[in-house]
Amino acid sequence: MDFFKTIYSRQTIRDFDDGQTPLPEDITMILRSAMAAPVGRSRYEDLHLTVITDKEWLKEMSDVVNAIQPSSRPNYPFYKAPTLILISSKLAENPAIEYANAGCVVENMALAARALDLGSVILWSFVEHLKNSPELLAKLDLPEGAVPIIGLGIGYPAVHQETLSRPRHMISINKI
């Protein structure tokens, strides 16, 4: 897919086809795109990616989140995404740089997913609940000092994604 069409047509998917799972080679390409993201001071060794396809883990985490923070959205918080990539990081010396790094990584992966005709949803709300769930956190076997920052749900959209040739939304701009 053309670079700008990929960017313009990337959108949040909150309804995935639960009968289809992304191909392993597509997940590999998405993970490679994460490694091409800019990272402050090139501290890639501070980051860690966890690919979660275990439906039981996703169900347990969904139950934890919905018990604490119920939502009217169906299938919250993962929206039936069959694959979740969790981005974790060691806490940085510079305040909050791990969030900027994770933001760059997650956007690269979301764009890669779109280029592969997959859908994605950037997932944030479950992370704080995960940090407070020692059993679920332990199952992730994160490197020492790494904490979950953000996630990306990936799968095939239940509804076809429109390909656009211009931005969907506008942000105000001023020039000095």
What average pLDDT does range 44-64 have in this prediction? Answer: 96
Domain span holding position 132:
3-154
Q: Render pLDDT for 62-100 as a digit per residue (tens, 0 to 9).
A: 999 999 998 998 899 999 999 999 999 999 888 899 999
Determine, yes or no, domain membership for 165.
no
Per the confidence metrics, is the pTM higher than 0.75?
A: yes
- Residue 137 included in any domain: yes
Contacts of 125 (CB under 8 A, 6+ apart): 65, 69, 77
Query: Tens digits of per-residue pLDDT, 96-155?
Result: 999 999 999 999 999 999 999 999 999 999 999 999 999 999 999 999 999 999 999 999
The alpha carbon of 47 is separated from its chain's Cα centroid by a whole number of angstroms, namely: 14
Which residue type is seen at 122? Answer: I
Total domains in the fold of the chain = 1
pLDDT band with cut points at 50, 70 and 90 for residue 35: very high
Q: What is the pLDDT of residue 1?
A: 66
Whether residue 24 is contained in a domain is answered as: yes
The verdict on residue 176 lying in a domain is no
Say if 159 falls within a structural domain.
no
